[in-house]
Structure 1
Amino acid sequence: MAVTDEAIEKIKGMIVSGALRPGDRLPKESELAAELGLSRNSLREAVRALSLIRILDVRQGDGTYVTSLDPQLLLEALSFVVDFHRDDTVLEFLAVAAGYSAGRIGGALLPVAVPCAAALAGVGLTLTVPHLSPGPQLVTPLGHAGATAAVLTLATGAACCAAWSASAPLLRLALRLLAAGIAVTAAVLGSTSGFVTCSAVLVCSLSAGHLRHRGVGIAGLAVAAASVTGLVWAVAGNVVPGGLLTWLQGQLTGHRIQLWQDALHLAREDLALGVGPGRFGELSSTATGTLLSDGKPHSAPLQQAAEQGVVGVLLLAAAFCWMLFALWRTARPTPVALTAGAALTALAAIAAVGNALSFTTVSVGAGLLAGLATARPIAVESTQREDDVRTRGDQLAP
């Protein structure tokens, strides 16, 4: 039995036995962990899983309570629901799939209005919701190198896609100004990485209009993503020259690099399958020794390598390659495809050095942008069909 499963079973036992009744407040984390003989990280994971299915109610600043619902009714389905929610990969997949479906539909119906609305929603979300946590809970602030940068980068990509889809010159100019404004917003919020990635997406979008063959651009995006991932791996493996490593430590913090090194060490223990989903926080000495650690290595490829081995890394790479292939084959104009590709590649770079993909908002936004860029506008299809009918009619006319 996994450590987190053991923690869940022990808390469940306290509820069933009546030691914890509906409405009761859980003891302090340190006291409860000592009483149950668990690590604090395992206890946090168990509380998170139980709160997802409403058995526990986490009240910020007031503690954690057993819900007023009858626990007996909910505990019968606990084994399935908790196993489902423990693996963040499942939640991320569902979030991306939901966003992608919405993007395909919205891009087909309103190829300009929907990406514009998505861009405004991303900015509004960043400005009005300052506390977004990984997953469904609202507790952790957006990180400058994480969710803030990711959301604003995707918003910039959506605004640029809307600009390329617009036919009116003034509307196209206004949407590009919106994209530039999003980059400025990132700078005002203090997100240096967000400003850099938003600016890069804007420059790539403007340059995309001069490319005749989108394959060249797609290949360049693939090389860029691979380069960032390789650099992260090199830093974790201590194969970066001393001067560059010192500079990176100043930018990324030594704590994050230690997390990367722990992830690489765990990946080497089981190259094929890794140590198991969600177990990095339990096995990393850096994570367990940090107060209020989120239990993640703050690098998507290294997290996959540590927790799911080579198989997980290959699946992550396959998902990114599939996205690039879909953009290469899309019927949308080349500037739209390359703009979306640039934004998603920037997101991949952010995720390689942070925990951006742990935020459901980011996963949904990535899927939404990919769906918008691969949708086939209905208006275009209707026009093409009418032209085909007229052509055939002319050919059949005597």
Structure 2
Amino acid sequence: MILLGACAGWSLITAAAHDGRPEGMLLAVLAVAAGHAVGRVSGALLPVAAPCAGAAAGLALAVVLPGLSAGPRYAAPLGHAGGTAALLALATGAACCAAWATPVPGLRLLLRALAAGIVLTGAVLGSVAGCVASAAVLLCSLAAGSVSRRGGCLLGLAVAAALVAGTAWALAADVLPDGLARVLDGRLTAQRVALWQDGLRLAGRNRGLGVGPGRFGELGGTAPHTLSADGRPHSALLQLAAEQGLVGLLLFVAAFCWVLHALWRSPRSTPVALTAGAALTALAGCATVSNALSFTTVTVGAGLLAGWATARPWARDSADPRL
């Protein structure tokens, strides 16, 4: 929570320095903090029912909210697929956490069927990223049952997130091999990559305090001319680097590392901790290449899942080795 407070405080400092608009950052921090608090309480009281209800709610929101849908109504070049993918990954993680938390075999099978249904929902919605992300979370959760020590796996998740972030940064800096760069450029669209390059350029010129929260659309070379950009570079890392400087970026990375550390120390069973870690790593990947964290439903869901996976249930799970 100290790190979240630091993120909020730094956004206010950079906003004051450059006449920025920190409301979006403050809302995201508040959503994560509130979700985490509710998750800790509900996870302690209802370790199975709470994440199960969260999974169902996440699935319903991904289906019924048009603002998150990747369907024809939002078929702009950048779309809203990042929010859909993130929400589906979190919902899958919640369903799998509930499955590992229940001692009833039949209910566990039913919850895993729910998780598989969420994966299929991603395909039905036309969200390839959502289908892939939720499938990865489901597979990681199934594999977590055979893991005895969680430390190495959580470290692997951190490395995976770092690889995604490094690849996005390298693509924006145009330092990848030509063949790989062309493939990624085709998958991510040239428009998105151009926005990332704008973000990297602004970050390089304003490493200390950035240009101020909410000001990327005013100063970026591509975003003002792109209706679908919404004044954002569609990458949480590059947006923070451009708008809040290196300190804001480091605080964001530290918050993710803190979540993984909390999962390592969690009193919940290793499969629950690793499942939540996989889902939150999938969210980090989505946030690196999209505007997933711009949706309040996603930030609340991230806080809830972290809270459920680190809560200390009254009927405590069996203790597991952490290393």
Please give the range of the TM-score, normalised by the shorter of the 2 chains: 0.7 to 0.9
- Name 1:22's counterpart in structure 2: none
Going from structure 1 to structure 2, the CA distance change for 1:207 and 1:144 (only over 3 Å counts) comes to farther
Going from structure 1 to structure 2, the CA distance change for 1:327 and 1:257 (only over 3 Å counts) comes to same
| Aligned: 1:256 with 2:192 | yes
Distance in 1 between residues matched to 2:258 and 2:125, nearest whole Å: 33
Distance in 2 between residues matched to 1:193 and 1:128, nearest whole Å: 18
Q: Is the 8 A contact 1:85 1:91 kept in 2?
A: no
Q: Which amino acid aligns with 2:193?
A: I
Q: Tell me the TM-score normalised to structure 1 length.
A: 0.72
Q: Select 1:287's aligned residue among 223, 245, 255.
A: 223
Q: Work out which structure has the larger RCO, using CA pairs closer than 8 Å and 6 or more positions apart in sequence.
A: 2
What is the count of residue pairs matched by the alignment? 297
SS at match of 1:379: coil
CA RMSD of aligned residues (A): 2.1
Distance in 2 between residues matched to 1:212 and 1:108, nearest whole Å: 23
| Aligned: 1:207 with 2:143 | yes
Q: Deviations over 1:320-349 (max 9, x none)?
A: 000000000000000000000000000000
Q: Is the 8 A contact 1:209 1:335 kept in 2?
A: yes
In the TM superposition, residue 151 of structure 1 has moved relative to its aligned partner by 0.6
Q: Select 1:163's aligned residue among 82, 95, 99.
A: 99
Q: Which amino acid aligns with 1:359?
A: F
Q: Which amino acid aligns with 1:366?
A: A
SS at match of 2:81: coil
Q: Select 2:209's aligned residue among 251, 273, 281.
A: 273
Distance in 2 between residues matched to 1:84 and 1:364, nearest whole Å: 24
Distance in 2 between residues matched to 1:264 and 1:109, nearest whole Å: 45
| Aligned: 1:333 with 2:266 | no
**Residues 86-101 of structure 1: matches in 2 within 5 Å?**
86-101=22-37
Q: Which amino acid aligns with 2:176?
A: V
| Aligned: 1:320 with 2:265 | no
Q: Select 2:155's aligned residue among 219, 226, 230.
A: 219
Q: Is the 8 A contact 2:223 2:231 kept in 1?
A: yes
| Aligned: 1:354 with 2:290 | yes
Q: Select 2:232's aligned residue among 269, 274, 296.
A: 296
Provide runs of 4+ in structure 1 moved above 3 Å.
83-87, 139-145
Distance in 1 between residues matched to 2:214 and 2:116, nearest whole Å: 38
**Residues 1-398 of structure 1: matches in 2 within 5 Å?**
86-132=22-68, 143=79, 145-291=81-227, 293-380=229-316
Q: Is the 8 A contact 2:21 2:214 kept in 1?
A: no
Distance in 1 between residues matched to 2:118 and 2:191, nearest whole Å: 30
Ranges in structure 1 where 5+ consecutive residues have no aligned partner: 1-79, 134-138, 385-398
Q: Is the 8 A contact 1:144 1:191 kept in 2?
A: no
Q: Which amino acid aligns with 1:326?
A: A
In the TM superposition, residue 315 of structure 1 has moved relative to its aligned partner by 0.2
In the TM superposition, residue 145 of structure 1 has moved relative to its aligned partner by 3.3
Q: Deviations over 1:140-164 (max 9, x none)?
A: 7894531111111100000000000
Distance in 1 between residues matched to 2:292 and 2:312, nearest whole Å: 29
Q: Which amino acid aligns with 1:157?
A: G
Distance in 2 between residues matched to 1:122 and 1:368, nearest whole Å: 11
Instruction: State percent identity of aligned pairs.
Output: 63
Q: Which amino acid aligns with 1:216?
A: G
Q: Tell me the TM-score normalised to structure 2 length.
A: 0.88
In the TM superposition, residue 130 of structure 1 has moved relative to its aligned partner by 1.6
In the TM superposition, residue 288 of structure 1 has moved relative to its aligned partner by 1.1
Q: Which amino acid aligns with 1:184?
A: L
